[in-house]
Chains A and B, each alone.
Chain A
């Protein structure tokens, strides 16, 4: 049996007539990383605030390591990094961590180690005002690692960061998960979280559209792969007649195929090897998969 840290079931939350969260069910186990994707206003931040106990749901249930959101036990279990946070510029990194350690009742002796883990040991006693954007975000993350959290809530931790800072941030997150923290983070695109989280959940207009590993999502989307064939001189017409698909120009042909028929189609193509000059196989990208789940929802809404 897995150790479920965050258990959200059938959560619904409205602001007036706007349904910010609609029947959201989600579970995260200790040591697991889940990325929550969605457009701006999809309900990601609202979900975080409900888990923190800042917002109260209309229906449904949230349990944080077995405790109700907002209770002391739940507050100690969760560490949070909001989407935008700027610490007072005149405080040093060490002082910021000292403040939050004091509020959480965590030992101050651990602060040096935290600063080390996020690579801020050198800058520990400099004012936050002198930090770069990446350093401030790492300080925010260090703050979120105080006291070995059971659940890490990271609201778009990498927005606005350069690729290297982003990479560093994800290694710290992976390390925290390795120590047993459950991680729920939000992001804008699948490309960013590929190979960096265990599971992905896609939100659209307050509803959880899809959830699973990237492979599962790709399979469920069942998007066609595209095979582009360049025919040998004068053979394009014959190939088109034989295989179908769309003519791009005099010599090229584009054929869509499902994952199941892909191999068979390739076998037929190799049978006509004498008519081919080149074959190019394009599998559906992450952006297409993401778009598929968002678009799908759109159509459902209109009906």
Chain B
């Protein structure tokens, strides 16, 4: 336990000193405020709660930003230590490899989570001050914040796993960018292409929703948009209305991804050869 706390403290300190927390907080706050106040006119016109509306648009943006931030924080965690020689020093002490992976994961998740919580809290407070708040809006905002932290945790675990598997920083960086492109950008495009080609049918009603659920980024978006009755959603997001499962299943998908990434990451960490 002492060892995990020691690693946690050091990793969190590094995340802070490397300005990751500050940078992530700044970027997320700016985007959240921009969405809230630039989109506010539309909200007033639709007579919708501005907080709910902003939560919807912030969810679609967070899907891109939060995985990117989490991967950038974590991709170097093992490969960098292999290259600098400090991993050999750490593993020469009685520390267990799973403790090292676990403590790094917790520290970076807390770092990413702190950035998300602070920026969403700031932006949410600004919206409430200017436009007031409805209970539904507050609930949507809270679940957006919580699920964003969960999404961050999933991608921190994925990034750490890549880092442990790659062993070299350059390769880990390439893999991180690759997995971001695939899960966040290309996967959606492929699904969209699929649904347009297949049209209304078995694919659209029975296969497609599960494919959406299988990707952590889409599961996150699905959860947040399905929970928002008031928000006007279109395209892929519109399908959130016709799901064969409750929106909470999307949280289950995130949890499965997290468990899988952690298990694989610990396995890969045990196989790092020094």
Contacts and interface: CB of A to CB of B under 8 A. Distances in A.
Contacts of A98: 6
B274 A85 contact: no
Contact of A102 (B5, B84, B88): B5
A187 to B, nearest CB: 18
Contacts of B89: 80-82, 85, 100, 143
A30 to B, nearest CB: 20
A68 B88 CA distance: 18
Contact of B84 (A85, A95, A103): A85
Contacts of A87: 84, 86
A16 B100 CA distance: 30
A52 B88 CA distance: 9
Interface stretch (B91-99, B215-223, B245-253): B91-99
A91 B15 CA distance: 11
Contacts of A301: none
A103 B88 contact: no
Interface string A67-83: 00000100110111111
Contact of A80 (B10, B14, B92): B92
Given A102-B2, A105-B2, A90 B18 contact: yes
A95 B13 CA distance: 10
B17 interface: yes
B42 interface: no
B86 A85 contact: yes
Contact of B85 (A79, A84, A103): A84
B3 interface: yes
Contacts of B242: none
Given A90-B18, A91-B17, A105 B88 contact: no
Interface residues of B, number: 24
Interface in B202-232: none
A88 B15 CA distance: 11
B8 to A, nearest CB: 10
A96 to B, nearest CB: 9
Contacts of A90: 14, 17-18
A102 B6 CA distance: 6
Interface string B1-30: 011011101100110011000000000000
A104 B2 CA distance: 10
Contact of B88 (A76, A80, A91, A95): A80
B183 to A, nearest CB: 29
A75 B93 contact: yes
A112 B257 CA distance: 45
B5 to A, nearest CB: 7
Contact of A103 (B14, B17, B90): B90
Contacts of B2: 102, 105
Contact of A75 (B5, B9, B94): B94
Contacts of B3: 102-103, 105
B92 A91 contact: no
A49 B89 CA distance: 11
Contacts of B88: 52, 54, 80, 82, 85
Contacts of B95: 103
Interface string A87-123: 1101100010011101111000000000000000000
26 contacts: A49-B274, A52-B88, A52-B92, A54-B91, A54-B274, A75-B92, A75-B93, A76-B94, A78-B92, A79-B92, A80-B89, A80-B92, A83-B85, A85-B85, A86-B84, A87-B86, A88-B86, A90-B17, A102-B2, A102-B5, A102-B6, A102-B9, A103-B7, A103-B90, A104-B94, A143-B89
Given A84-B85, A102-B5, 9 more contacts: A52-B88, A54-B88, A72-B94, A78-B92, A88-B14, A91-B10, A102-B6, A103-B6, A103-B94
| The 4 nearest A-B residue pairs measured at CB | A102-B6, A85-B85, A90-B17, A103-B93
